[in-house]
Structure 1
Amino acid sequence: MALTRAAIVGAGLDILDRYGLADVSMRRVADALGVQAGALYYHVPNKQSLLAAVADEILADALGPGDHPSLEDWVTAWAHTLRRALLAHRDAAELVASTRALGLGAVDPCADGRERLAVGGIAEPSATMAALLHFVLGHVTQEQTAAQMAALGLTPAPEPTAADRDFAWGVGLVVRGMTTAAA
């Protein structure tokens, strides 16, 4: 098998899913691919670039929730789509949050939303999408941390329907605020 950026990112994502963010390293990815760590640097210049590429891979699954009858429905679908993509991978919310905070990564999960909000006449489309992104990342981080603590036997297992209900309520609150500010 030829060593490619896609193979490196795939191995990084696999390690993230199996062991968590703390275990994603250049050496561990190289071991998973059966190469020396130095071989990775031709495709990925450093660990931060690797983590950003893994975050981009996760975010690629969250783009384009499709068309919806209203802007409010589209924004709601976007938030739920992003949540599902993040929940599909261990520590994904923490990874995406740190990647975004460092200004790394090529995938901007809010780009389409900012455009739609601007066309829809929503004031401050950048701030609105940032608030919603921060809500989604924070909520999913809490969900993933609670699930990990329960898996270790340190806390009771969280009630999934409560997380779903709380998430829907929070998204609805942001969307109502967005439409109220536009009116």
Structure 2
Amino acid sequence: MQAARGTSLSSLSTPGSTSGSAVGLFTIVAVVALAVDQVTKVLAVRFLEGEPSVELIPGLLQLTFLRNAGAALGTGSSMTIVLTVLAIAVTIGVLRVATRLRDRGWAVGLGLLLSGAAGNLADRLFREPAPLRGRVVDFIDYGPFVGNVADIALTLAAGIIIWRTFRGVGVDGSREKS
């Protein structure tokens, strides 16, 4: 049965085809990932700061506390204000794009992007040494670098956004014609 003449019933019942469900998924992903990031940072400050590294998987994964003024791998440590402004711009941009969400993949990707940017932005705004110059709490030591849950969210977001882009799916659920 069709909802209206010429309208496919399947297009109406496809999960993620409505703005509300995609925006809701985006919101849930963003809030949960941001909460996990902030809680783990509080725990890292409480239990890891000033302590020796804790080895979880020998030679692969440990918990090592540090405060990072820069970006990935400590690069740009003299550009903390620029990184803060960039995080603010990303946060605003993602929120603006989210109003057009109709695709669940994009909803998850942008939710993770928002949580990662906002998680590290919160550190830059509210942690020492000063607002806009705060150092990000990193504690997950993978060997070549030390990161946090926000960094994991940003990495996953990049993968999902690349995947949806290569598949030709727009944030509004439209597909490029091949």
Give TM-score scaled by structure 2 length. 0.28
Q: Which has the higher contact order (CA 8 A, sep 6+)?
A: 2
Give TM-score scaled by structure 1 length. 0.28
Higher share of residues assigned helix: 1
Q: Which has the larger radius of gyration?
A: 2
Higher share of residues assigned strand: 2
